[in-house]
Amino acid sequence: MADVWLISGIPGSGKTTVGRLLAQRFARSAFIEGDRLQEWIVAGNVWPGTEPAEEALRQIDLNTRNQCLLARSYAEAGFTAIVDYPIVSRESLQAYLAALAGLAVHLVVLHPGTPVAIARDAEREKSRRHRVRHGMTIGEHYAHLAQPLVDQLAGIGLWLDDAQLTPEESVEAILAGRQRARVAATA
């Protein structure tokens, strides 16, 4: 059985770029992007932080559950599973750990700082489209997640300030910090 890696951070922190590069470093791996799973909902999709709030939370839970089902399936088939999604609370982390019980789980939090993440995010085409529709970029919309992330998860897993690192350097730092990234179900 292979490991599961949870790559967290706010939008623009580098989760997708670094997660994909990390996946390439393993002989057998799968990359699970939580936002893509959200997009699978064709009718009735309610993105996190939008209304109705109760439905948005229900869909976050559904997305988390599906990420974990996929990660477990891949891991049990011998693939290292890399999950890319903002995990910003102990409660959310516990939901992942419970669903992934019995697997080796690693948490990596990419934390370049909110201004850097917002600037990076503003360069992405999907964020520019979001600004046209909503008056702000995705990074600006979700920047408020940085504080609960720090307040609730600081000291758990491997935290990486990747503001001055290339994505490749970030992957090297993650692999070097593999032991610190390992989390237990009691985190």
Long-range contacts of the stretch 33-37 (C-beta < 8 A, 24+): 33/84, 33/85, 34/63, 34/64, 34/67, 34/83, 34/84, 34/85, 34/86, 35/84, 35/85, 37/63, 37/66, 37/67
Instruction: State the pLDDT confidence band at 185, using cuts at 50, 70 and 90.
Output: low
Q: What percent of the chain has pLDDT over 90?
A: 83
Residue tagged 């982390």 (tokens): 93
Closest CA to 157 of 103, 90, 107, 112: 107
Alpha-carbon span 138 to 160, nearest angstrom: 21
Does the domain made of 4-183 have the CATH classification 3.40.50.300?
A: yes
Q: What is the pLDDT of residue 132?
A: 76
Alpha-carbon span 9 to 163, nearest angstrom: 12
Helix (H, G, I), strand (E, B) or coil at 23: helix
Alpha-carbon span 146 to 109, nearest angstrom: 11
Q: What is the pLDDT of residue 187?
A: 45
Instruction: State the pLDDT confidence band at 124, using cuts at 50, 70 and 90.
Output: confident
What angle do the packed helices 90-99 and 146-153 form, to 10 degrees?
70
